Amino acid sequence: MQQTLRQVINFSAGPATLPETVLQQAASEMLDWHGTGVSVMEMSHRGPHYMRIHEEARQNLRDLLAVPPGHHILFLQGGATLQFAQVPLNLIGRGDGADFVNTGDWSAKAIKEAARYGAAREIASSQPEGFTRIPAQSSWKRSERAAYLHICSNETIRGVEYQFDPDDHGVPLVADMSSNILSRPVDVSRYGLIYAGAQKNIGPAGLVIVIIRDDLLGHALSATPTLLDYREQAQHDSMLNTPPTFSIYIAGLVFKWLKAQGGLAAMGEHNARKAQRLYDCIDASGFYRNAVAKDDRSRMNATFTLSDPALDERFLKEAAAEGMTDLKGHRTSGGMRASLYNAMPMEGVDRLVSFMRQFETRYG
């Protein structure tokens, strides 16, 4: 896994670190893309040069995820948060509402937004346990006529991740994969719709990827704006309006980089090793603690607390002095959070683990 360690190690949950080689290539092409004399940001989105970028990005994403022929790939805008509305606008009319598994803040936001357009039923929740696990499938109170079943495959705030693809029971499975898409192989055929904001593992903020099964197109509520109708976007190649061309260009470079790393199988193994290295450090310590059930721990967002919260600011200050930034946990959960997305090299995790052990020795 060829990744370099930059001077500043960025553990931000998003917008997150990008592969250095991708940034270098983008910098070298900023003023002149492939001899055209113009930047990607200056190209016509319907011209042959940008269309080449657009098509290559989509095909490389299809290759990486082994997206079946019966699924469309859309490059849209508004991030994953807009999808909280766009999904129900397009799908909730297919049944008598939608089912949701609530595993944290992002699941809850999706439920709240969907309730504006139809019945949004919480069929399982780990809130009583402080969102520290994935509810067992046997406890899900599914609805027979649900239009879809929605999950958030990785909750960034508390660091809880599905380590399995849920059974759909004949109901289209919809997944917010914003924070773990492309981090390992996924069986896309098991999902009716996948959406993912770009700013974790794909590229700049603003772009959102939607992968939707063909039979789920054409069911939008009558009040759905044209721009938010998946069928319209699919028919117009994601170009009902000017797409976020530069974000798609960067995403395309990341897709090529992922292929060069060995694809998602290799990336999945690499991410598993990184996460295990950090969790082993936490578990071996009486000074640090991770509250998430071990089988449900996120490989992307490792959260932990210190035995004495009064040391939090010192921990962050000393880590920053060592070149490690954005380790502060989310404001709603506190503690620390180290995001280990694809572009984080193993050396970055090793640096963090070494610092954590030294900090424990000094203050534990």
**Is-catalytic flag, 200?**
yes
SS3 (DSSP) at 195:
strand
The residue assigned the tokens 């990341």 is: 254
What ranges in 72-212 are assigned the alpha helix state H? 79-91, 105-114
**Is-catalytic flag, 176?**
yes
Among the options 96, 105, 167, 200, which is catalytic? 200
Is-cis flag, bond preceding 15, omega within 30?
Answer: yes
What ranges in 261-341 are assigned the alpha helix state H? 263-283, 312-321
Among the options 176, 229, 296, 326, which is catalytic? 176
**Is-catalytic flag, 106?**
yes
- The answer to whether the beta carbons of residues 195 and 228 sit under 8 Å apart is no
Torsion of CA 69, 155, 285, 346, to 10 degrees: 40
Structure tokens at 174: 């919809």
Among the options 106, 257, 296, 326, which is catalytic? 106
Q: What is the DSSP string of 76-89?
A: EESHHHHHHHHHHH
Q: Distance (Å, rounded) from C-alpha 97 to C-alpha 150? A: 11
Catalytic machinery residues: 106, 176, 200
